[in-house]
Structure 1
Amino acid sequence: MSDPAIEFPIAAVLIGCGATAFMDVWGVVKARLWGVPSLDYALLGRWVGHMPRGRFVHRPIAAAVPVAGERALGWLIHYLTGIAFAALLLAVWGPGWLDAPALAPALIIGLGTVLFPFLVMQPALGAGIAASRTPAPVRARFHSLVTHAVFGLGLYLSGLPVGSLLR
């Protein structure tokens, strides 16, 4: 496939979904081995579900009124976010990244994505900036950084077959 207008969105979807799934598998492993729970994506759906009603900040989100279909909405938003970050990787490093996916750019994007939960999601969900209102903020930050590094690794690992497939 040589048309960038077609190749870019296909690559972003495949790489973003692959990296997000890789991160989700990491979440299951982390929960089983160390008892560290992942984000309940129903709460992400609840947060997004309240936005059309003009509510963007919750203290905490778990106390907010549930939204119909919040779990499915949360998972959809989770994967769409992964796709958006994969598109960012491809936009910043260009289509040449697909020719020879490199780990460093994927890790830079993966680690950079931790700014979104630290500065947007956690404050909006009632956890404070960079989990400052949680019982163990340093531990929460560490787990967020590791999870986003795993997402970056997932971008790279997903980019390898996608680059081969599309080239």
Structure 2
Amino acid sequence: MMIITGILMGLLATVLLDLWALTLSRVAGIPAPDWAMVGRWVGHLPSRVFHDSIGDAPAVASEHTLGWVFHYSVGVAYGVLLAVIMGPDWLAAPTLLPAWLFSILMLGFGWFLLQPGLGLGMAASKTPDPTKARVLGLIAHTVFGVGLWMGAMLF
């Protein structure tokens, strides 16, 4: 049951994160993540992890779909991992702080693996406005953490 709850937590948190990105895109004009480029990165993982610019790498088949599947797979994996780490006692009476802290810790994978892999530098250091990218990442992972907590509360 703990695994099922974790899967549902991760799905809900990822949907909430996507709704947040959609809202930012429509209200503030902040571009939503390009999951095709993430899919391209995933497609090249067997041969290469870090790129100068993932946009310059050859396209891979179904990269857009691959990116979305990867995005949701990571969200589900995070939900399951949190559920397993925290255990049944926390799942019976979930609190926000552990879910939020876990989500912030998981941001490290984005900052130190995914972003350098895409050619954006560590913690978005090669983007036009690294501070903005980092703050948006922190906010997005806060939204994700709230989603994990909400999922634990609901399921």
Measured against the shorter chain, the TM-score band is over 0.9
What secondary structure sits across from 1:37 in the alignment?
coil
User: Per-residue displacement from partner, 1:92-116 (whole Å, max 9, x unpaired)?
Assistant: 2112121111111111111111111
What secondary structure sits across from 1:114 in the alignment?
helix
CA contact under 8 A between 2:3 and 2:83: conserved in structure 1? no
**How far apart, CA to CA, are the structure 1 residues paired with 2:5 and 2:13?**
12
Counterpart AA for 1:153: V
Say if 2:40 is the partner of 1:40: no
**How far apart, CA to CA, are the structure 2 residues paired with 1:100 and 1:71?**
38
Alignment-derived partner of residue 165 in structure 1: none
Extract structure 1 runs of 4+ deviating beyond 3 A.
none
Q: Give, in angstroms, the shift of residue 49 of structure 1.
A: 0.5
- Counterpart selection for 1:68 from 61, 76, 83: 61
Question: TM-score normalized by structure 1?
Answer: 0.89
- Specify every segment of 5 or more residues in structure 1 that has no aligned partner in the other structure, as ranges: 1-6, 163-167
What secondary structure sits across from 2:30 in the alignment?
coil
Q: Identity rate of aligned residues, in percent? A: 42
Counterpart AA for 1:72: T
Alignment-derived partner of residue 135 in structure 1: 128
Q: Give, in angstroms, the shift of residue 48 of structure 1.
A: 0.6
User: Per-residue displacement from partner, 1:63-105 (whole Å, max 9, x unpaired)?
Assistant: 1111101111111110110111112211221121211111111
- Counterpart selection for 1:156 from 145, 149, 152: 149
After superposition, the CA RMSD in angstroms is 1.0
Alignment-derived partner of residue 13 in structure 1: 7
Q: Give, in angstroms, the shift of residue 160 of structure 1.
A: 1.2
CA contact under 8 A between 2:2 and 2:87: conserved in structure 1? no
**How far apart, CA to CA, are the structure 1 residues paired with 2:29 and 2:72?**
24
CA contact under 8 A between 2:39 and 2:70: conserved in structure 1? yes
Q: Give, in angstroms, the shift of residue 38 of structure 1.
A: 2.1
The structure whose Rg is larger is 1
**How far apart, CA to CA, are the structure 1 residues paired with 2:126 and 2:82?**
31
Question: TM-score normalized by structure 2?
Answer: 0.96
Alignment-derived partner of residue 77 in structure 1: 70
What secondary structure sits across from 1:151 in the alignment?
helix
**How far apart, CA to CA, are the structure 2 residues paired with 1:107 and 1:68?**
35
- Specify every segment of 5 or more residues in structure 2 that has no aligned partner in the other structure, as ranges: none
CA contact under 8 A between 2:111 and 2:123: conserved in structure 1? yes
Alignment-derived partner of residue 51 in structure 1: 45
Indicate the structure whose relative CO is greater, using CA pairs within 8 Å and at least 6 residues apart. 2
